[in-house]
Every structure is written in structure tokens, then in C-alpha cells.
Amino acid sequence: MIESVLRATLLGLQLGMTLALIAAGLTLIFGMLDVINFAHGALYMLGAYFGTVVAGQLGSFWLALVLAPLMVGLVGAAIEIFSLRPLYDRNPLYHILLTFGVAIMIQGAIIEIWGAQSMQIPVPDLLSGSVSVGPVNYPVYWLFVLAVSTLLIAVVWLAIERSDLGILMRASAHDTEMVSALGIDVSKVFTGVFVFGAVLAGVAGVLLGGSRSVHPGMGFGIIIETFIVVVIGGLGSFRGAVYAALLIGLVTAYGALIAPTLTDLFLFAMMAIVLMAKPSGLFGATEAA
């Protein structure tokens, strides 16, 4: 009993932190650009595919972990500069249609290039096998995923709270026009935030590509979960996204323990309750930065 609870806790935290990596970008992009990026799941998926290619061609998982997210960042820059930028002044419906279209295009391109079959990123020997955590025998790779994603989230958190760049991001989320009138080129900030979100999603893609299967449906699969996270945490709130991601991760893991068939229902019910009780999300209104 204790074993399975401990195992579920570890799994839940790992799932939560990787979800947080994806949700962080989605929520920051919304907070600053006012764009709901439906292509975010596709960026995560691209991270996994680029990771597969780099690891396959160069034979190094570590290079894949560094290069693939940067490649996703480049794709993100192209999306922001060439397709979103001309639409900022338009109705948000345009953003949704556009990013949804981009997601479908990326999925189509992936099937065209790599086919529909599943792949996996080969994990280095150092990270294979398992290790005992107390009474539980747990895969080393999963612990690695937990450690890397936690570290990244902590760094991003600190940067947002403390650095000049974080101040700029919080100020832009609050009043973009005022920021531009202070002499800051907000369009560069927008591109930066979009690329940053894309890179984080790419990291999550590589990390999960080593433990789950890499397939063309994974982008749309993850975006639903990520939206639940962002809605519960409060659209635009980084802190909210992290807490909500951990909550969702743990609920999913414990749910699998108690009632595996009802886990999805739990998640949607949680979202519905939050929406009814506090439509702005757990941290939506309080984090007016």
C-alpha cells in the first residue's frame, strides 16, 4: 500500500512538473500576447520528433535535450513573427483559428516526414534501469525527468520574480502600451516570450519522448490536459500554472490507483468546479502583475 502511494506520488510529481513546463509557456503567452496558442501542443510534439532525429543522427540524448528545444524555439519565432504578429489587433477568434491551423499543419508535416508509426527517443545507459527509492523500485529516467523539469521550473520562477526580464514580462502582461511608451520595443518582447514558451514545450517533448511513445497524436493529446491546467491555475498566471500542474499530475496518478477509468472525469470535474467557484482560476485575479 505505502509502496503504491509513494510510487504514485513520484509519478504524479513527474507528470505535474512536465505539464508545468508546457503550461508555463501557454499561460505566459496568453498573459502577455493575449493569444490562446492552440499550436502549443504541436510545439511540444515537435520537441519530441526533433529529439528523436537529433538523438538518432548524432547518437546523443544529451545533444537532443539541448538542440531539439532550440529548434522548436526557431519554429516558434517563425510562427510568431510571420503569422501571429499581423493579427494582434484582430479579434481573438483569429488567433484561435490561426494557431489551430498551425497545429494541424505541424501534425500533417510530421506524418508526411516521419509517418504515423510510433517512435521513441533512445535513453542513454546512464539513465536506464531503475533505482530503489525507499521501498519502491523506480526507473532512473523518470527521476531524471522529474529533476530536470523541477529545476527548470525553479529557474524560470526565480527569473520571473527577480530578474529585469521578469519585471519586463510582468509589466507587459499588465499594460503593454505603457511599457512601449517607456521606450521598450514590445514586439521583441512578444517574440521572446513566444520563443521561450516554445523552448520549454520542446524540453518537455524531449523528456517525455524518452519515456512515452512519440507519435503524431501526442500534440492534441497534451493540449487538453494543458488547457485544464491553465484554466484551473488562472489564465496568464505562471504561479497558478505550476500549482495546477502539480495538482493535476497528482490527481491523475492517485486516480489511476483508485479508479483508473474515472481519472479524466476527475480532471474535467475539477475544472468545472473551479470555473463555477472562481472563473478567473485559482491565481487568475490575485496575480495582477
Partner 1 sequence: MAAVSETPAADRASTAEELLAVDSIHTYYGQSHILFDLSLSIDRGEIVALVGRNGAGKTTTLRSVLGLTPPAEGTIAKDGEPIDGLEPYEIRKRGISWVPEERRVFGGLTVEENLRLAASTGEGDQSDGFEDVYERFPRLDERRSQKAGTMSGGEQQMLAIARALLGPETDVLLLDEPSEGLAPQIVDDVADIVRELNEEEGVTILLVEQNAEMALELADHAYVLENGRIVHDSPAAELLADREAMEGYLGVK
Interface positions with partner 1 (CB under 8 A): 164, 167-168, 170-171, 174-175, 177-186, 287-289
Nearest-10 Cα torsion for 203, 151, 223, 79: -50
Q: Report CA Rg, the chain.
A: 19
Q: Least distance in Å: CB of 203 to partner 1?
A: 28
* Rounded Cα gap, residues 44 and 186, in angstroms: 25
- At its nearest, how many Å lie between partner 1 and the CB of residue 161? 10
Which residue, 89 or 125, is less far from partner 1 as judged by CB?
89
**Least distance from partner 1 to the Cβ atom of residue 160, Å:** 12
Q: Which is nearer to partner 1, 9 or 286 (CB)?
A: 286
Q: How far is the CB of 168 from partner 1 (least distance, A)?
A: 6
Q: How far apart are the first and last CA of the chain?
A: 44
Shorter beta-carbon distance to partner 1: residue 112 or 177:
177
Choice between 117 and 163, CB closer to partner 1: 163
Nearer to partner 1, 18 or 172 (CB): 172
Distance from chain centroid for Cα 263: 20
Minimum distance from residue 227 beta carbon to partner 1 (Å)? 24
Closest distance of CB 274 from partner 1, Å: 22
